Amino acid sequence: MAGGLAASYGTFFAYSGRFLYPARPAERGWMYVAVANDLQVGDALTYRTPAGAGVTVARQGDEGGVGDFIALSSVCPHLGCQVFWEANNDRFFCPCHNGAFDPSGKPKSGPVAEANQSLPEYELRIEDGLLMINVELESLVSVSTRQPRDERTA
């Protein structure tokens, strides 16, 4: 009796839990960013992933390889808010909990500095002179009802 109750209700609750748990992680893929040589040392652009996340892609070297480039996520590693660039302070700033990062994404102050959390980097590669980025392909929640601001586009 006890075994039957445990098995039947256990199955029910296990299936219910699995039903509520998300099905699978978002798929990733390689997307075009820019012609590599169009970016000079010191140049940066904001790339929008298909999911809508902002990525700062910058050229920091002139060695001729993918190592010249860096792609920084705009998602703060502390608790997931969006950072923005503060030109006057030469830093990325997270308004949620006052995290600050230098231009290379290294933590400068706030909880991220105490935990030594840098801005996440995206993987890059160069294919036939084209700079490609590895990003999530699934869309975030719809933003189609609103007109994006000019500065949001790459």
Partner 1 sequence: MASIVAWFRQRIPLSGVKLRELTNEPVPNHLKTWWWCLGGTPAYLFVVQIITGILLAFYYEPSPQTAYESVRYITEEAAFGWYIRSVHKWAATLMIAAVILHQIRVFFTGAYRKPRELNWMIGCCLLMCTLVIGFTGYSLVYEQLSYWGATVGANIADTVPFVGGFFKQMLLAGETYNERTLPRFFILHAAVLPTVMILLITIHIFFIRLQGVTEFRFGDEPTDQPTHYQFFPDHLMKELIIGLVLMILLSALATALPVTMGPPADPLTTPEVIKPEWFFYATFRWLKMFTGVAAVLSMGFIVFVMFIWPFIDAAVRRFLPRSEFSVWVGILGAAAIIGLTVYEALVVH
Smallest gap from Cβ 15 to partner 1, in A, equals: 15
- Rounded-to-integer distance, Cα 25 and Cα 33, Å: 23
Count the neighbouring beta carbons within 10 Å of the beta carbon of residue 71.
21
Residue pair 49/55 in contact by the 8 Å Cβ criterion? yes
3-state helix, strand, coil in the chain (%, to 5): 25, 35, 45
Which residues lie near partner 1 (CB under 8 A)?
20-22, 25-26, 48, 51-54, 78-84, 94-98, 110-111, 114-115, 117, 138, 140-146, 148, 152
Smallest gap from Cβ 81 to partner 1, in A, equals: 4
Smallest gap from Cβ 99 to partner 1, in A, equals: 9
Is the CB of 11 or the CB of 98 nearer to partner 1?
A: 98
Is the CB of 33 or the CB of 110 nearer to partner 1?
A: 110
Residue pair 94/76 in contact by the 8 Å Cβ criterion? yes
